Amino acid sequence: MKFLKFIAAAVFALAMVACGDEPTNTPVEKSPFRMEVSSNFVQIGVDHAYFLVYLDEELVDPAELTFYDENDEEVEMTTLEIEIDGQTVTVPEWAPTEPTTKSFWVSYKTYFTKELITITAVDFAFPDSMEDPQPNNVSFKKRTFFTQFTGAGCGYCPWAKAALYEAAADEAYADKFVVAAIYTYDGQNSKLYPTENGDISTAFGVSSYPTVIYDMMGSFSYERVDKDYVSVKAAIDNTQQQEAKAGIAVNVASDEGDTFVARVSVKAAVDGEYNVGAWLVEDGIKEKQANNGCGYPMDFDNHNNVLRYADSGKKYIGHSLGAMKAGEIKDHVFTMNFFKGTYNKDGKEVKAPWVKENCRLIVFVTTSVRGSAYVTNVVANDIYSESIAFDYK
């Protein structure tokens, strides 16, 4: 199966859009004291990241603001003059001189912002949008997105894993789906556990293992390989009967170090509300797998498609692109630094770096229907430095 093997994930916002808004079809009530940022992604020496801080819809004087980082350490800001609605105003600016990622909150008198705003600074040029070779075409190849909830300590999970593996080996299905394996069964002490995200299993309503969810709309649990394989194929056949409501193109850039940036272009096939998300996964992680009798011939101790980071909002359905007309294209930028931390095992801190050569980025688009969101398309590729064009039929 083809997968995307480039790295990225984190936060993007269009100019003047507040970080952290959840996808919604109804207006979002704004806090009386709030902070917005011009961009969550800046190129050092080229771009500016400046803040707009409002109290009751009036800009607050930067001299009266105190900024803090994610560790509650005070941060000194420079200032910048910009023009808003024909008037020149002074705003606080963060001007980093070296590549870094930093999160901010701000206080004013007795007010403080509830949400952190994260900005990543890099010393290389942003990727451009991918060129659309067929601007009048809105007929896209569709793939099914399987989210496989599992764990190394789950003795029945090999059945679902084997069924997905068998489908990947079937030429009739291999290029029709993408898998993200979410190792939450063993909790946070496992090196396979997603490093930086909330309670994703609760968000997806998972109550037993294994559980396999397809396109965030249907699910099945294990029986045995042959029946699970039937379930996998049925899910693909079912979702393939529906046209992809959007296409996805991705252009990437990196400094050959630990920071990667992907500019994702989403092209609507029909009018609707769209969201976009990116999940970082890693292959080739070795961990002993419990097995209650599944004899399928594969190495269960080798774990692929392991979710490392889910950048798709608190509900995991993606960051809102808002309403789009058929044929319209909107961009969203994801950026990520490789995790080089540790995890707790038997009371000891164990190093658990991500192997970037084994990592891939899965990019998916959801569309909102009656208050819920479902995956309408997903893309992936083998090489993390390779871009993806719109995949037309």
Cα distances from 17 to residues 40, 88, 270, 273, 289, in angstroms, run 10, 20, 25, 17, 44
- 1, pLDDT greater than 50: no
How many domains is the chain partitioned into structurally? 2
Distance (Å) of CA 350 to CA 143, 184, 346: 37, 18, 10
Minimum mean pLDDT range among 13-22, 103-112, 321-330: 13-22
- Of the residues 94, 113, 132, the one at which a domain ends: 113
| Same domain, yes or no: 176 and 106 | no
In a domain, 170, yes or no: yes
Assess if residue 310 is contained within a domain: yes
247 shares its domain with 198: yes
Res. 327: pLDDT tops 80: yes
The answer to whether residues 230 and 84 belong to one domain is: no
Average pLDDT, the chain: 85
The DSSP symbol for 130 reads P
Q: What is the pLDDT of residue 343?
A: 64
Q: Are 191 and 101 contained in the same domain? A: no
Among candidate residues 298, 41, 50, the one with its CA nearest the CA of residue 169: 298
Question: Could you tell me if 73 and 179 lie in one domain?
Answer: no
pTM higher than 0.85: no
Mean pLDDT over residues 156-166, rounded? 95
Asked whether the beta carbons of 236 and 166 are under 8 A apart, the reply is no
In the predicted structure, residue 325 carries a pLDDT above the cut 50: yes
Can you tell me which residue has the tokens 């090489």? 383
The residue among 314 and 156 whose pLDDT is bigger is 156
Q: Is residue 134 part of a domain?
A: no
Does residue 128 fall inside a structural domain? no
Local structure of 168: helix, strand or coil: helix
Looking at the domain assignment, is residue 296 inside a domain?
yes
**224 and 265 both lie in a single domain:** yes
Choose one of 90, 113, 136: the last residue of a domain. 113
Evaluate whether residue 233 is within a structural domain.
yes
Residues 244, 358 share a domain: yes
Q: What percent of the chain has pLDDT over 90?
A: 57
Is the confidence at residue 346, as pLDDT, over 50? yes
Residues 6 or more apart whose Cβ sits within 8 Å of residue 213? 146, 147, 149, 204, 206, 219
- 101 lies in the same domain as 161: no
CA distances from 200 to 184, 288, 314, 336 (A): 8, 23, 9, 19
**Domain of residue 335, residue span:** 144-379
CA-CA distance, 268 to 376, in Å (whole number)? 11
Domain stops at, among 113, 130, 156: 113
128: tokens are: 């451009």
Lowest mean pLDDT among 34-48, 55-69, 334-348, 357-371: 334-348
Q: Which residues contact 135 (CB under 8 A, 6 or more apart)?
A: 327
Q: Using the predicted structure, report yes or no on whether residue 313 has a pLDDT greater than 80.
A: yes
Tell whether 317 and 188 lie within a shared domain: yes
By CB atoms closer than 10 A (0-12, 13-18, 19+), residue 93 is: middle
CATH number at residue 375: 2.60.40.10
Digit-coded pLDDT (tens) for 132-142: 999 999 999 99
Mean pLDDT confidence for 58-87: 94
Averaged pLDDT for residues 124-134? 89
**Residues 192 and 271 placed together within one structural domain of the fold:** yes
Which of 2-6, 120-124, 159-163 is predicted least confidently? Answer: 2-6
Do 218 and 320 share a structural domain? Answer: yes
Q: Is the pLDDT of residue 172 over 50?
A: yes
pLDDT above 70: percentage of residues in the chain: 86
Contact call for residues 207 and 221 (beta carbons, < 8 A): no
pLDDT of residue 159: 94
Are residue 78 and residue 183 in the same domain, yes or no? no
Would you call 187 helix, strand, or coil by DSSP? helix
pLDDT at res. 8: 29
